[in-house]
Amino acid sequence: MGLIQTVGRFLLVIINLILVIVSLALIIVGFLVKYSGDVFEKYTEPALDKIIESSQGSFGDADFTAEKFDIAELFGTTATMLIIIGFVLLTISFLGSCGACCGVKCMLLLYSVILIVLVLAQIVFIVFLFGYPDVLKNAMKSPLKTLLKNYQGLNGTNVESLGWNFAMTEFGCCGLEKSDDFKRGDSAWFGEEDSNWKTPVACCKKLPTTNNFDCAKANGNDAEHNNYNKGCVDEIWKVMIEDNKKYTYLGTGGILAFQLLMIVFALVLYCKDDDNKVTPMEHQQQRGKRQRNPRSSW
The tens digit of pLDDT for each residue in 115-139 reads 999 999 999 998 988 888 888 888 8
From residue 151, alpha-carbon distances to 13, 143, 184, 232 in Å are 49, 14, 12, 14
* For residue 298, pLDDT beyond 50: no
Residue 168 and residue 234 in contact, taking contact as beta carbons nearer than 8 Å: no
All domains in the chain, ordered by first residue: 1-129+259-298 (no CATH), 132-240 (1.10.1450.10)
CA distance 214 to 248: 40
As a whole number, the mean pLDDT across the chain is 79
The tens digit of pLDDT for each residue in 236-259 reads 999 888 888 888 888 888 889 989
pTM: 0.68
What pLDDT is attached to residue 41? 60
* For residue 62, pLDDT beyond 50: no
Q: What average pLDDT does the segment 154-166 reach?
A: 81
DSSP bridge pairs for 253:
none
CA distance 12 to 230: 47
CA distance 118 to 141: 25
CA distance 78 to 155: 24
The tens digit of pLDDT for each residue in 175-218 reads 888 888 887 555 667 644 556 788 888 899 888 877 788 888 87
